[in-house]
Amino acid sequence: MATSHNAKITMTRKKENTANKHHNRRRNIGRAILIALSVAGILSVALIAPNALQILTPGSGRRGRRMSMWEIERALDRLLNGGYVEKVQRRGNSFIQVTGEGKRKLIEIELQNARIKTPAKWDGRWRLVFFDIPHDERLTRDAMRRKLKELGFLQIQKSVYLHPYECYAIIQAMQDFYQIKPHFHYAVIEKIEHSKTYLKHFNLKPR
């Protein structure tokens, strides 16, 4: 009985792993299409093929089997239905272009994978982020706080965060994604009070 039960558990786990692999593959193909469109601006439907996508998104075919045309068509249908891309007609030919929602999705993907790089040598400057987001947008404010902490920022006041390393591109992506530019500020400074506390927190030596 125990052997039979263990076999069922093993089989269930295998099915779950297979389902997860298929889900991740579908998501990666959709992401490859969005990236290709963001690079090219607009693509002929005839060019949305495995070879074209792998040229426009280097590294997309490095692991596992390459994309099939059937998988690409399915992924494209999901993107169209989700409003991330749209079909347009030009001179009798069909083209695909990324929508505003698709661009937001790309920024979301970028933020999910974002990491602040640690340089070989600290430049001695602090990156300061501060914001004053209206109370009726508190969900956005809370999401911002979670993301900043995830990126390694230190909260030094209620809506003021500190980091020692270059991160402007990530901050810009956050401003675009959360659509809070008027309420969100970024500064680079060389001196700050209580620096000893912050140096200790980030395991840095004074310059």
CATH for 156: 3.30.70.240
**Co-location of 160 and 83 in the same domain:** no
Out of 17-31, 102-116, 127-141, least confident range: 17-31
**Co-location of 147 and 81 in the same domain:** no
Residue 119's contacts (CB-CB under 8 Å, 6 or more residues apart) are 165, 166
Q: Do residues 105 and 84 lie in contact, with contact meaning Cβ atoms separated by under 8 Å?
A: yes
**Co-location of 61 and 123 in the same domain:** no
State how far the Cα of 179 lies from the Cα of 88, in Å rounded to an integer: 27
> With the C-alpha atoms ordered 172, 176, 180, 181, is the resulting torsion angle positive or negative?
positive
SS3 label, residue 97: strand
| Inside any domain, residue 159 | yes
Q: At residue 106, what are phi and psi to the nearest 5 degrees?
A: -65, -40
For 72-130, the pLDDT digits (tens) are 778 888 888 989 888 888 877 778 888 888 888 888 888 888 899 999 999 999 999 99
State how far the Cα of 106 lies from the Cα of 108, in Å rounded to an integer: 5
| Inside any domain, residue 206 | no
Burial class (CB in 10 A: 0-12, 13-18, 19+), 11: exposed
Query: Which range is most confident: 68-77, 132-141, 194-203?
Result: 194-203
To 5 degrees, how large is the angle CA 22–CA 23–CA 27?
Answer: 115
- Number of domains the chain is built from: 2
Residue 170's contacts (CB-CB under 8 Å, 6 or more residues apart) are 111, 114, 116, 151
| Inside any domain, residue 36 | yes
**Co-location of 13 and 103 in the same domain:** yes
Domain that holds residue 31: 2-109
